Amino acid sequence: MDLDLKGKVALITGPAKGMGAAVSRAFAAEGCRLLLLGRDLDAIGPVEAEIKAAGGTVAVAHCDVTVSEDCEAAVAQAQSLFGAVDILVNVAGGTGPIGKTGAQTTTEEFRDIIDVNMTGCFNMIRAAAPTMMAQRSGKIVNVGGTFGMRGRAGRVAYSSSKWGLRGLTKSFALELGPHNINVNCVA
């Protein structure tokens, strides 16, 4: 399939496994130049090696999305390596406590999942937006979840984080749209 992405620069968070690895492979297959971002570089290594073996252009950088300075450094690295940031895909996230009621969920557990699922996306978008605005183009995709469209007993932290991600996405879409930047959430 040709999605007209050849040569575009894509930053992908959470690329080590599952959906993040699949997204990384798909963008590489379309000819994107990739910067794969995560906390555990060893875990990203197999995906990086697979993409390189298939002839893709890929680099890896340490980035904890909950740390704004890491996100800013990742965007700077992409600009240094590739000269642009065309696409940002925020896959990194967590599930939080499973099977605990809201009353059983600790404040720390709640904050941890909000931090990675919402603040992480905020930090990455905030870091990438100035570059995209200067280019007058960009695509940002946040990976949400269906629990962000309906609550779920036993998943208070996760559901809350994904509901919040929808609002974050919509607000950035309204702010960045006039700069020719699309911001979407995929559930």
Rg of the chain over Cα atoms, rounded to whole angstroms, equals: 16
Q: How many angstroms from the chain centroid is the CA of residue 36?
A: 10
**Where are any strands of DSSP class E within 94-177?**
138-143
- Contacts of residue 165, defined as CB under 8 A and 6 or more positions apart, other chains included, come to 117, 118, 121, 142, 144, 148, 185
Cα–Cα distance for residue pair 149/90, rounded to 1 Å: 18
Sign of CA dihedral 101, 103, 108, 111: positive
- Catalytic residue flag (residue 162): no
CB-count burial class (<10 Å; 0-12, 13-18, 19+) for 6: exposed
**Residue in 158, 159, 162, 169 annotated catalytic:** 158
Which structure tokens are listed for 93? Answer: 């996230």
Residues annotated as catalytic (active site), given as ranges: 158
